Structure formats: C-alpha cells, structure tokens
Amino acid sequence: MGEGCKDKGKKELIGRGFRTYLRIFTYAKPYWFRITIALFMAQLVAATDGALAWLVKPMMDKIFVEKNLEMLKLIPLAIVGLYVVRGLGRYIQNYFMRYANLRMVMDLRTDLFKKIQGMSLAFHKSRSTGELISRVMSDVSVVRSANVDVIKNLIRQIFTIMALLVVLFKRDWELALMGCLTVPFAGVLIDRLGRKIKEITKASQEKRADLSALMVDSFSGVRIVKAFNMEEQETKRFRKQLHRLYALSMKKVKAAELVSPLIEFLGSLGAAAIIYVGGMRVISGRLTPGDFFSFMAALMMMYGPIRKLTKVNNTIQAAIAASERVFEVLDMEPDIRDAPDAVEVKGFRESILFDHVWFAYPDDPDTWILKDINLEVEKGEILALVGESGAGKTTLVDLVPRFYDPTQGAVYLDGIDLRKIKQASLRALIGMVTQDVILFNDTILNNILYGRPKATFEEVVEAARVAHAHEFILQLPHGYETVVGERGVRLSGGQKQRLAIARAVLKNPPILILDEATSALDTQSERMVQDAMDRLMVGRTVLVIAHRLSTIQKAHRIAVLDKGRIVEMGTHRELIDKGGLYSHLYKLQFSGEEPLEPVLLGG
Ligand SMILES: Nc1ncnc2c1ncn2[C@@H]1O[C@H](COP(=O)(O)OP(=O)(O)OP(=O)(O)O)[C@@H](O)[C@H]1O
Ligand SMILES: [Mg+2]
C-alpha cells in the first residue's frame, strides 16, 4: 500500500474517475422529488442575485441622477422583498438537499456494510478491520461533504453566475466579453490544482485506513500490548502514521489554498481593465453611471460564486478518489455465493462426506493446507480431529458450513454438493463453538438469543442451565440483562465458553462443530465446560477438534491430521495400539489428566 499508486495516463483516468463519482448519484433516485424542489429553489436564489444587481441601475439613474421620489420608496422595498425570497429559498434548498444527502449516505453505508458482511471469511481474513471501517465511515464522509458542496455550490453558483452574466451582457456586452478573457486562464489553473488534490486525497484516504487498522489492532490487542510493555512503541507507531497523514494534508493545503489567491489575482486584472475601459465610456457618455455601477455590482457579486466554484473542483477531485474506494468495495463479487439453482435443505439425514478435498487459501494458492481429504461422518457420530498446531484442523471443519469452498474435490451433505445448497439453510443445521468466543456488545440474553432470535426467555434460561451458565448469570449485577463488553471482557474464559455453549444449545442444530480452546481452564471451570459440552453433544453429529482427553475418549472415531493429510483413523484404542503419530501426540498432550498444551498468549 502507500503512495505507490500515482495515477499516470491521467486523461483517461479522470474521465473514469468522474463517472465513478457520478455513480453516487444513483443513490439520489429515491429522493428525486425533494432534490427537484431544492434545485428549483437554487434557481430562485440565483434569480434574486441577478435582480439585485439589476436594481443598481434604476437606483443610480432614477434616485441619484433623476431624484425620482417614487423610486426612492419602491427600490428599498424591492430590496427587502428580494432578500426575504432569497433567504426562504436558501433555507428550503439547504433543508431538502441535506435531507437527500444524509439519506443517500445512510443508504450507501448500509449497502457497504451489507456487502462487506456478505464477503467470505477468506476476504475478511485478508483485510484489516480498520481498513474496512474506514471505507464505510471516512471515505463515505468525503463523498458526503462533496455532495453538499457540489449541490449547494456547483448548482447554485452556476445559476447565480448565469443570472449575473445576463445582467453583465445586458448592461454592456463588450465589457462583459473583456471580463470573460480571464476565464480560460482560470480554468487551466483550477484543473491543474484539482488533479493534484485528487492524488493527495487518494493517498491520504489510504493513510486514514492504515491508521484505523492500527488503532483496531492496538486497542483490541491491548492485553498483549501491555504484556509486552509496548504502549510507548505503539504510540510511536501511531504518531508516525499520523505524521504521514499530516504531511499529506499539508501538501493538500498548499495546493488547495493556492486556488483562491491566484483566481483573485486574475480577477483583479480583469476588474482593472473593466474599470479603465468602462470609466472612459461613462466619461464619453456611452454608458450611464447606473449602467456602469450595475455592471460593477454584478461583477463583484460574481466573485463569491466563482471563488466557491473553484473550490468545488477540489472537493470533486477528493470525492472521486474516495468514491473509487467506496465502489471498489461495492463492486466486489462475493466469492462464496448461492448458486442460482441452490436447494434448501430441511434437515440432516445421513452423512457429511469429504471427497478428495484439496484446499489452499486464496491468498496463498501454492500451499496446500488440506491434501486429498476423504472422510465420511455418519449421522450421530462423534468424530474427533487431532493433529499438531497448523495441521489444518480448523481449516477442515470450516469447509462444512462452507466458509470456504474446496479448491479441488467436494464436500457433500446427504449426497448434495455444498455448493448446491442455500448457505442459510446449510448453516441453520450447524452449531459452532470456536476457540475464541465472540460475544457481542449486548446483554447476556441477546448474546444467547443469537443462537435462535425467536426463542422465548424460558428457552434461553433452559439453554443456560444445560450449559452450566445459569448460576453465574444470576450472580451478575443485572442477571440476563447484564451487558457484556466487547469480546466479553468482563467474563472469564470459562464463562464465555459456557455462554457460547448455551447459544449452541438454544440453536439446537443436528450438526455440531467444536473447536476446543487450547488454553487450559482451572479444574473447576474445566469440569463445568466439559460437562456442558457433553450435554451439548448428546444426539448430534459432532466434528470436534479435540484438545481434551475426555473428549477424545468419547469420540467414536479419531482422525489424525498431519500437514493437511489424514494419516491415521480409528478408535482411541486402535490408534494407541498402532503406535503411530496418534500415540506419539497422545503421550505428548494427553498423558496427564490435564492437557499439557502451552498457554499461548492471544491463543
Ligand atoms: N487465512 C489464511 N490464509 C493463508 N493461510 C492460512 C490462513 N488461515 C490459516 N492458514 C494456514 O493454514 C494452516 C492450517 O491452519 P489451521 O488453522 O487449519 O490449523 P489448526 O490445525 O487448526 O491449528 P491449531 O491447532 O493451532 O488451531 C496453517 O499453516 C496456517 O498458517
Ligand atoms: Mg485451529
């Protein structure tokens, strides 16, 4: 990542970039009515600007030159009236534009969120959380503020400029043309600086993403940070990243702030020429003072809109950069999708079959993680998977809920290829309890309800009882209504696991996938978790990655995985008698009552 993506071949890219930005406006469709009203109001406001400049002539010629008393009363009234209309128009315009814009942003963020959630596990593992958050929040923000600018300024200012141009050309078209001479110069200037800003924005949005990624890592890994005394180091890393963003921002300031002064300078040249030529015309009597001052008033009034317009280009360039990042996400094809002819499975009847399954992770396609796996798990069977760390156990079980598709071969459920089954119906049959329990920032009740949102409170309590969680939940300050923090910080490892088990009990799936925690719990907690697991397994088909002796002993069969291959298969007794890898692992891991797994930090 980083600054490596300088755009070359600019012309082509700018066209494409702008089209990308315009795609944002497909989100405007549902709000077209309000937007139309707003645009109409913008025209009204612009017209009042033109009218104000127009009024300068009768004011000068009738009031000051001819001393007309009628006009002396009418013109001030007209001015007040114009400002009332203008203020009302502006208010309505801004109100509806903001409304449409905020709704668009909401819709856009929802789509992004949905898209990201729909992406496969492989995708999520290859992207950092912070980076994804930054696409949804920061990039959309840039686009949003651009929309406000574009609609408010671009549209209104263009209308205003047009209205004022009418006045200019009506008063003296030759002078008006003279003023227009500066336009091409200004155009070139604006274009140059705008491109620069687009490039810088792209780079700084990437930096922003890096920053959020760093924060997510650092905050969610705060235990490790503290354990290794890395607070200062992390802060330094953060500051260093911040500094890169700061440097880019300053670069942007340098380019963006250059626009106004340069345009003003060009404008002053134009104004000087106009005053000189216009002054001569008044002196020679070709123009009335009213014509000239009305012209000058229109010219002065154009200054604001033009200045804003030049800034709009900068904003649009920034928005192009950000919208490219937004649509990059929206245009992604989820790699795991329901086939068009996917079937709904209602239950589980016979078996899960791995047929010559080979698997490599998409981001490392040359390394086979699973090699020629052939395995059939019958309904009602408990199959334990054992193997050294990194052997591919988690990868293997992740294929069952179709978190990944096999690279070669296939997995079948009751004879149907998983790729031909609707994902939702497949996953409804599967319960998972994983190594690291994820609790949502919500009440205990809702965390358990995640297993089956429509369950009654009684059913939740029953599930919690089965999972040996009910007792400790009642001791919490608000019982089932206690909020557990992100990742359940306030609960112990064993308690979290029991909540995860309660969740699975509530879901009551025919197929169960257990990835036992490698970190040892204390004996009492261990016993409760174990007992809860045993109750959960009753009457289900279970694939369990076993780290506990008792689990292994309960299994009907054990598959031993070594570097992605199943090297041994049989009952505990058979495998011990065989004296192969299993008996070796067994001596290593399970010789004591307690598992001897080292407690890995961050396991
Ligand atoms: N997203 C990924 N991309 C690339 N390689 C991966 C990915 N996830 C895991 N691996 C690799 O796949 C191999 C198997 O990992 P897996 O998690 O299946 O092992 P495991 O047997 O469950 O280990 P453990 O007992 O430590 O949990 C490892 O070498 C790991 O580095
Ligand atoms: Mg694992």
pLDDT at residue 518 tops 80: no
Terminal CA-CA length for the chain: 28
pLDDT at residue 517 tops 80: no
pLDDT at residue 271 tops 60: yes
Q: Could you identify the atom of ligand 1 that is nearest to the CA of residue 121? A: 1
| Residue ranges around ligand 1 (CB below 6 Å) | 125, 361, 363-364, 369, 387, 389-395
* pLDDT value, residue 378: 93
Nearest CA to 111 out of 326, 281, 292, 307 is that of 326
Cα-to-centroid distance, 130 and ligand 1 (Å): 22
Cα-to-centroid distance, 363 and ligand 1 (Å): 13
Q: How confident is the model at residue 590 (pLDDT cuts 50, 70, 90)?
A: low
Q: What domains are defined for the chain?
A: 22-330 (1.20.1560.10), 438-508 (3.40.50.300)
Could you give the C-alpha distances from 153 to 3, 213, 376, 574, in angstroms and in order?
31, 34, 66, 79
Cα-to-centroid distance, 199 and ligand 1 (Å): 38
pLDDT at residue 6 tops 70: no
Residue nearest to atom 28 of ligand 1 (CA): 390
pLDDT at residue 85 tops 50: yes
Percentage of the chain with pLDDT > 70? 94
* pLDDT value, residue 542: 94
pLDDT at residue 485 tops 80: no
Residues β-bridged to residue 562: 565
In this predicted model, which residue has the larger pLDDT, 522 or 12?
Answer: 522
* pLDDT value, residue 51: 93
Mean pLDDT to the nearest integer, 363-375? 92
Q: Which residue of 119, 335, 369 sits with most ligand 1 atoms within 8 Å of its CB, as the best mutation to test the pocket?
A: 369
Residue nearest to atom 6 of ligand 1 (CA): 361
Q: How confident is the model at residue 189 (pLDDT cuts 50, 70, 90)?
A: confident
Give me 527's structure tokens.
């016993």
* pLDDT value, residue 488: 52
Mean pLDDT to the nearest integer, 61-69? 88
pLDDT at residue 266 tops 90: no
Considering every ligand atom, which ligand is closest to the CA of 393?
A: 1
Mean pLDDT to the nearest integer, 287-300? 90
pLDDT at residue 245 tops 90: yes
Long-range interactions of 98-102: CB distance < 8 A, separation 24+? 98/148, 99/31, 99/34, 100/28, 100/31, 100/34, 100/35, 100/38, 101/144, 101/147, 101/148, 101/151, 102/144
Phi, psi of 329 (to 5 degrees): -70, -45
Among 486-500, 504-518, 559-573, 583-597, which stretch is predicted with the lowest mean pLDDT? 583-597
Residue carrying the six token digits 């156990």: 393
Give me 376's structure tokens.
């059939």
Rg, the chain, Cα only: 35
Q: Do residues 230 and 148 touch, judged by C-beta distance below 8 A?
A: no
* pLDDT value, residue 249: 93
Q: In what order do the strands lie in the sheet with 370-378?
A: 370-378, 351-359, 408-413, 416-417
Cα-to-centroid distance, 395 and ligand 1 (Å): 6
Among 129-143, 159-173, 388-402, 486-500, which stretch is predicted with the lowest mean pLDDT? 486-500
* Mean pLDDT score across all residues of the chain: 86
pLDDT at residue 10 tops 70: no
Considering every ligand atom, which ligand is closest to the CA of 559?
A: 1
Residue nearest to atom 31 of ligand 1 (CA): 390
Could you give the C-alpha distances from 188 to 183, 191, 453, 599, in angstroms and in order?
9, 5, 60, 65
